[in-house]
Amino acid sequence: MIVYEPNKEWLQFVVNNRNNMDYYGHVRKGKRNHQPKHSIVKGPVADGNIVDFARECNEKQVTVKQGDVGDFFNRKYPNQISFHKEKYIEKL
């Protein structure tokens, strides 16, 4: 299980997971969960604007900055838990 707070590492994780391997291979920053490597991920919910931001990061091949974090944190729904392996989903 991996747990995130609303910080730069969380936002980079979200951007990494919304972009392809070419982006991740270029920036080599933070974690991602495409395999999935992490069975359970707990952390803040990103708002709907994250998609455009992730696309921009991919196009410019840049990583996130600390100042970007507050722009994408969904305060109405502050946390989520996502399950990525059947054995954990079956136990719900």
Residues whose CB falls within 8 Å of the CB of residue 7, separated by 6 or more in sequence, listed in order: 66, 69
pLDDT tens string 50-87: 889 999 999 999 999 989 888 887 778 878 998 888 88
* Rounded Cα gap, residues 48 and 50, in angstroms: 5
| Summary mean pLDDT of the chain | 87
The position carrying tokens 């996130």 is 64
Number of residues that make up the chain: 92
pTM value is 0.81
What one-character-per-residue DSSP string does 21-57 give? HHHHHHH--S---SS---SEEEEPPB-TTHHHHHHHH
Phi and psi at residue 83, to the nearest 5°: -105, 135
Per-domain residue ranges of the chain? 2-89
